[in-house]
Amino acid sequence: MNDPEIQAVEIDAIRLTFRLRDGRVVGAPLSFYPTLQHATPAERAHFVVYPFSVHWPDLDVDLDAECLLRGAHELPVYAQKAAHRELLVREDPPKDS
């Protein structure tokens, strides 16, 4: 089986979707990926698409098409870090320059 190649990515506050070169469209709720779910819209929108994966540099998150196809969830340790990060931002929001 050929590795699924990513053609486009769509992400909003609820869902992550990969459009694959072979015509398939695969997606998952952001609740599967708490780091993305707890990110700001700007952090979610800043990603780099590689042939077989997507990288969010501001969040240090990488997902490949196989993960979405399998319905894989983010590992609990990363989900806990995302929740902790969101709590810190709420307690001490960034200051405007």
- Is pLDDT of 59 > 80? yes
Write down the domain spans for the chain: 6-91
- The span from the CA of 43 to the CA of 57, in Å, is 9
Fold of 6-91: NE0471 N-terminal domain-like (3.30.2020)
**pLDDT confidence of residue 92:** 67
Beta-strand runs (E) in the chain: 6-11, 15-20, 25-29, 48-49, 53-56, 61-64
* Per-residue pLDDT reduced to its tens digit, 6-58: 999 999 999 999 999 999 999 999 999 999 998 999 999 999 999 999 999 99
